[in-house]
Structure 1
Amino acid sequence: MYFPPALLALGNMSGHYYHHLTSFLLGALLPTVLLFFLASDRVSERLPTISSLGNGALVIGGRATAREGGDLTGVDGSAPAPAEKEKFPGLAELLPEVAMEDKTVIITSVNDAWAAPGSLLDLFRDSFHNGDGIAHLLDHVLVVAVDAGGFRRCKAVHPHCYLLDVFVVSSGAGDAANLSSANRFMSRGYLELVWAKLSLQQRVLELGYSFLFTDVDVMWLRDPFRHITLYADVTISSDHFHGDAGDVAGNSPNTGFYHVRPTNRTVEMLRRWRAARSRFPPASHDQNVFDGIKRELAGGELRVRIAFLDTAVFAGFCEYRPDAGRVCTVHANCCVGLENKVLDLKNVLADWKNYTAGLTSPEKKGANKFRWTFPVKCKASLKRH
Structure 2
Amino acid sequence: MAGRRDAILTRDKNHQITASRIAIAVFVGVLLGCIFAFFSPHGFFTSIPTPPILNHKVALSACETPEQLNALKLNIQSAKEKNSDLKKEVKSLMERLRLAEQGKGHAREQFVVLGENHKAGPFGTVKALRTNPPVIPDESVNPRLAKLLEEVAIYKEVVVVLANTNVLEMLEVWFTNVKRVGILNYLVIALDDKIQEFCKSNDVPVYRRDPDEGVDLIAKSGGNHAVSGLKFRILREFLQLGYSVLLSDVDIVYLQNPFDYIYRDSDVESMSDGHNNYTAYGYNDVFDEPSMGWARYAHTMRIWVYNSGFFYIRPTLPSIELLDRVADRLSKEKAWDQAVFNEELFSPSHPGYDGLHAAKRTMDMYLFMNSKVLFKTVRKDDKLKKLKPVIVHVNYHPDKLVRMKAVVEFYVNGKQDALDSFPDGSD
- CA distance in structure 1 between the partners assigned to 2:108 and 2:413 by the alignment: 50
Which position in structure 1 is the counterpart of 2:134?
A: 42
Counterpart secondary structure, 1:144: strand
Q: Kindly indicate whether residue 390 of structure 2 is the aligned counterpart of residue 328 of structure 1.
A: yes
- CA distance in structure 1 between the partners assigned to 2:319 and 2:312 by the alignment: 11
Q: Kindly indicate whether residue 304 of structure 2 is the aligned counterpart of residue 251 of structure 1.
A: yes
Which position in structure 2 is the counterpart of 1:125?
A: 175
For the 8 Å contact 2:247–2:310, the answer to whether it is kept is yes
Q: Kindly indicate whether residue 395 of structure 2 is the aligned counterpart of residue 342 of structure 1.
A: no
For the 8 Å contact 2:322–2:344, the answer to whether it is kept is no
* Equivalent of 2:411 in 331, 344, 352: 352
Q: Once the two structures are superposed, what CA deviation does each residue of 1:286-305 show, in whole Å capped at 9, x if it has no partner?
A: 11211222212799553211
- CA distance in structure 2 between the partners assigned to 1:377 and 1:180 by the alignment: 33
- CA distance in structure 2 between the partners assigned to 1:243 and 1:145 by the alignment: 37
What is the Cα deviation at residue 217 of structure 1? Answer: 1.3
Counterpart secondary structure, 2:387: coil
Equivalent residues in 2 for 1:279-298, closer than 5 Å: 280=333, 282=334, 284-296=335-347
Which position in structure 2 is the counterpart of 1:148?
A: 193
- CA distance in structure 1 between the partners assigned to 2:132 and 2:401 by the alignment: 44
- CA distance in structure 2 between the partners assigned to 1:231 and 1:298 by the alignment: 23
* Equivalent of 2:370 in 299, 316, 328: 316
Go from structure 1 to structure 2 and tell me whether the alpha carbon gap of 1:297 and 1:278 turns closer, same or farther (over 3 Å shift).
farther
Question: Identity rate of aligned residues, in percent?
Answer: 24
* Equivalent of 1:229 in 263, 272, 283: 263
What is the Cα deviation at residue 161 of structure 1? Answer: 0.5
Which position in structure 2 is the counterpart of 1:376?
A: 422
What is the Cα deviation at residue 242 of structure 1? Answer: 4.6
TM-align CA RMSD: 3.3
Q: Kindly indicate whether residue 230 of structure 2 is the aligned counterpart of residue 204 of structure 1.
A: no
The TM-score with structure 2 as length reference comes to 0.57
Which position in structure 1 is the counterpart of 2:160?
A: 107
For the 8 Å contact 1:220–1:328, the answer to whether it is kept is yes
- CA distance in structure 2 between the partners assigned to 1:155 and 1:378 by the alignment: 37
- CA distance in structure 1 between the partners assigned to 2:349 and 2:419 by the alignment: 37
Aligned pairs, number: 276
Q: Once the two structures are superposed, what CA deviation does each residue of 1:332-383 show, in whole Å capped at 9, x if it has no partner?
A: 11222xxx2111111110111233x9xxxxxxxxxxxx56605738933xx4
Specify the code of the residue in structure 1 equivalent to 2:140.
T
- CA distance in structure 2 between the partners assigned to 1:213 and 1:205 by the alignment: 12
What is the Cα deviation at residue 128 of structure 1? Answer: 2.9
Counterpart secondary structure, 2:347: helix
Counterpart secondary structure, 2:247: strand
Q: Kindly indicate whether residue 269 of structure 2 is the aligned counterpart of residue 215 of structure 1.
A: no
Question: As a proportion of its length, which structure holds more helix?
Answer: 2
Q: Once the two structures are superposed, what CA deviation does each residue of 1:10-54 show, in whole Å capped at 9, x if it has no partner?
A: xxxxxxxxxxxxxxxxxxxxx967446599822134x571354xx
Counterpart secondary structure, 2:425: helix
Q: Which runs of 5+ in 2 are unaligned?
A: 1-106, 115-128, 283-300, 379-383
What is the Cα deviation at residue 240 of structure 1? Answer: 1.3
Counterpart secondary structure, 1:150: helix
Counterpart secondary structure, 2:224: helix
Q: Kindly indicate whether residue 356 of structure 2 is the aligned counterpart of residue 302 of structure 1.
A: yes
Q: Once the two structures are superposed, what CA deviation does each residue of 1:99-153 show, in whole Å capped at 9, x if it has no partner?
A: 10x21011011112323xxx112211222344xxx32x1x211100111111111
For the 8 Å contact 2:218–2:226, the answer to whether it is kept is no
Counterpart secondary structure, 1:143: strand
For the 8 Å contact 1:114–1:150, the answer to whether it is kept is no
Go from structure 1 to structure 2 and tell me whether the alpha carbon gap of 1:32 and 1:164 turns closer, same or farther (over 3 Å shift).
closer
Go from structure 1 to structure 2 and tell me whether the alpha carbon gap of 1:124 and 1:32 turns closer, same or farther (over 3 Å shift).
closer
Which position in structure 2 is the counterpart of 1:69?
A: none
Go from structure 1 to structure 2 and tell me whether the alpha carbon gap of 1:302 and 1:41 turns closer, same or farther (over 3 Å shift).
farther
- CA distance in structure 1 between the partners assigned to 2:159 and 2:281 by the alignment: 24
What is the Cα deviation at residue 219 of structure 1? Answer: 0.5
What is the Cα deviation at residue 214 of structure 1? Answer: 0.9
